């Protein structure tokens, strides 16, 4: 029996929702002086109150992607907190949870936390969300993320980066993509019951 996905109730000034239930945008204040700046990326209590999820990170990872690299679309079964620290991130998030009312919906974020006026955004992704990384700038993209389960290759899944049903408009030409990601199936191949025959989009979560 699938669990119901409800709207997230946000109880903090620094966390907001987006159009996909459960995905949270964290923008905590930045303190600058002549030495540089100080920034708390997140506070666990705030995140758990806002998400309703007990988040116990066990692995902290650092990914570096050269300009033009796409890593997509990954749908691992663990909660994840992402934070790009250098470079420009183009991040399409796909709701790949079949029980979700917005299944198949795509929301994109462009984040450059090195800019002077940046809000230093982090994003919390609940289990089953499709997560994508695209190094969209001229410099390498450095990307940190926390997960609450240890990496397990047997649990890793993916969706085709160029899935026509999702119609993501990637900002790079001739992207650099791993052979593994090139072989990912379409969303409708993973969940055929969620698509009506002849329809070009999922039954739920029609894109904007």
Whether domain 15-194 has CATH 3.30.505.10: the reply is: no
| pLDDT tens-digit map of 165-174 | 999 999 999 9
pLDDT at 6: 43
> Using an 8 Å Cβ cutoff, are 168 and 160 in contact?
no
> Using an 8 Å Cβ cutoff, are 51 and 124 in contact?
yes
> Using an 8 Å Cβ cutoff, are 64 and 142 in contact?
yes
Domain ranges of the chain: 15-194
CB burial of residue 33 (10 Å; 0-12, 13-18, 19+): exposed
pLDDT at 118: 82
Task: Determine if the peptide bond prior to 133 is cis (ω within 30°).
Answer: no
Average pLDDT over residues 170-198: 93
Q: Which of 43, 56, 57 is nearest to 15 (CA)?
A: 43
């Amino acid at each position: 029996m699938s669990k119901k996905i409800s709207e997230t109730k946000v109880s903090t000034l620094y966390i907001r929702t987006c159009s996909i239930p459960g995905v949270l945008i964290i923008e905590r204040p930045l303190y600058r002086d002549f030495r540089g700046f100080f920034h708390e990326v997140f506070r666990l209590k705030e995140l758990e109150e806002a998400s309703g999820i007990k988040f116990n990170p066990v692995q902290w990872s650092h990914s570096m992607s050269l300009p033009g690299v796409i890593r997509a679309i990954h749908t691992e079964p663990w909660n994840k907190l992402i934070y790009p620290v250098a470079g420009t991130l183009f991040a399409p998030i796909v709701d790949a949870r079949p029980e979700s009312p917005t299944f198949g919906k795509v929301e994109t974020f462009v984040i450059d936390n090195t800019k002077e006026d940046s809000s230093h955004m982090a994003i919390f992704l609940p289990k089953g969300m499709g997560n994508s990384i695209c190094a969209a700038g001229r410099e390498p993209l450095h990307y940190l993320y926390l997960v609450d389960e240890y990496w397990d290759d047997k649990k890793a899944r993916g969706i085709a980066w160029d899935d026509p049903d999702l119609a993501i408009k990637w900002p790079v030409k001739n992207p650099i993509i791993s052979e593994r990601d090139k072989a990912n199936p379409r969303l409708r191949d993973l969940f055929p019951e969620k698509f009506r025959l002849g329809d070009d989009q999922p039954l739920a979560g029609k894109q904007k």
